[in-house]
Amino acid sequence: MAILANGESRLLIDGKLVAGTAGTFPTVNPATEEVLGVAADADSDDMGRAIAAARSAFDDTDWSTNTELRVRCLRQLKDALREHVEEMRDITVAEVGAPRMLTSGAQLEGPIDDLSFAADTAETYEWRTDLGHATPQGIPTRRTLAREAVGVVGAITPWNFPHQINLAKVGPALAAGNTLILKPAPDTPWCAAAVGEIIAEHTDFPPGVINVVTSSDHAVGALLSQDPRVDMVSFTGSTATGRAVMTDAAATIKKVFLELGGKSAFLVLDDADLAGACSMAAFTAAMHAGQGCAITTRLVVPRAKYDDAVEAAAATMGSIKPGDPTSKRTVCGPVISARQRDRIQGYLDLALQEGGRFACGGGRPADRDTGFFIEPTVIAGLDNNARVAREEIFGPVLTVIAHDGDDDAVRIANDSPYGLSGTVFSGDDARAQAVAARMRVGTVNVNGGIWYSADAPFGGYKQSGIGREMGVAGFEEYTEIKLIATAAN
């Protein structure tokens, strides 16, 4: 792969790999703080050309109606990514700091394989539905419901699971007949640029159908929300940035999909295996250094068993040492940047100021002088009003909160501006299901069930977003509904 060979990436605009007008910017290994190489730095003119190319490809070609071509191109992309999976793995571990073990799942191989779901959905989808005859206002009419592509889609993505989030937008958006501009986070430009390189060199995607624009300037991505030539913006990231995307998109009333923050609760009921549940909560919160929007970072446990719960969580969390992401044994690697590490440390300092204590962790590992590492940390002694219990930290930090029964546990879980995910553990499945049904969240894990899958929709309530990604629901986010009414004699 040219990126690994040259230490440099390029933009993909209108079917061509090109340099960025603003030059280049560095991409850094968060485990070593070393510069890996450089990425193409796009400016507003580059983004304008990408938008123009996507607009032309949608308006002036048969891409939106040629389902056979779309399916073939997506399957080519999946196969080509599979052929280059080891190079992609090396880029992902180095640039994201993702533990190698996670690249066999959601960090790389899972999203590649999920492209098959997008292609299969497009191939078998009922693009037209006959609603039958009716006589509205006394006029005999035959009604047909049509699903069509939205148009030009701007996809703005974060750094924590770049392949998962990039391909979860690229796959369904293109499968549905849209054209697309992908603007990845400045922290992980190579992950997206590598996909662009493979598209240009190993697939039949027509020019302009998919464009990859890397840039160090967040304002370049904001152009996708502002430009009237873009019909839809699909954004994953912080709630604060999501608000800005929504505000910018309002000027042209463009369609918006938002997958935003979370502060998800892991509820342990009084009949659950306390040690087992708390151990699972701690392991989950430490994985990939806690850099996941749906990770359960509030452990809500029975008040009578609070001390035992803290001890169990700390035993697991304290045993997980931040390590080299290239090692197959590492669970918790670095956080993405010095900026993010300092932000997390600020929250840890705040926890002490608010009256909390650390059952384990609390700062940088003593044995790591380089790399953006934070110890997996359990915070105890605070209630759900503490800022560390209400605000998204995005690090390996678990706050343990006491509840006084099922109703109180549900109240605590729902007492949040977010509503992305949740977990319930109980010795009684029916009891756990009843609690899960009352949680105001988009996904719930009951007694260890797995909700992540290509065919299952993902998204949240409240300030965790608008719409769903993945599954048929995620595919349909990238479509419009048209009703065709034909006079019937």
Among candidate residues 95, 109, 259, 469, the one labeled active-site is: 259
Which class for 337: exposed (0-12), middle (13-18), buried (19 or more C-beta within 10 A)?
middle
Single-letter amino acid, residue 488: A
Structure tokens at 286: 């430490």
Tokens of 417: 């501006």
Alpha-carbon Rg of the chain, whole angstroms?
23
Cβ(190)–Cβ(9) below 8 Å: yes
Buried b (16+ CB within 10 A) or exposed e, 380-405: bbbebebebbeebbbbbbbbbbbbee
- Residue 25's DSSP bridge partners are 39
Q: Is 395 left (phi over 0), alpha (psi -120 to 50) or beta?
A: beta
Question: Between the CA of residue 335 and those of 97, 149, 249, 430, what are the distances in Å?
Answer: 7, 37, 31, 38
Structure-derived torsion over alpha carbons of residues 170, 172, 176, 182, reported in degrees to the nearest 10: -20
Contact 28, 337 (CB under 8 A): yes
- Angle between the 189-202 and 85-96 helix axes, to the nearest 10 degrees? 160
Query: Distance (Å, rounded) from C-alpha 481 to C-alpha 276?
Result: 47
Q: Distance between CA 373 and CA 370 in Å, rounded?
A: 8
- Give catalytic status of residue 86 as yes or no: no
CB atoms within 10 A of CB 174: 27
Strand partners of residue 211: 181
- Number of alpha carbons in the 13 Å side-chain half-sphere of residue 151: 15
Is 154 within 8 Å of 233 (Cβ atoms)? yes
- What are the C-alpha distances in Å from 194 to residues 11, 12, 44, 95, 102? 10, 10, 22, 12, 19
d(CA 422, CA 175): 30
Strand (E) or helix (H) holding 267: strand 264-268
* CB neighbourhood size of 61 (10 A): 16
Please answer whether residues 441 and 420 qualify as being in contact, where contact means their C-beta atoms are separated by less than 8 angstroms: yes
* Active-site annotation, residues: 259
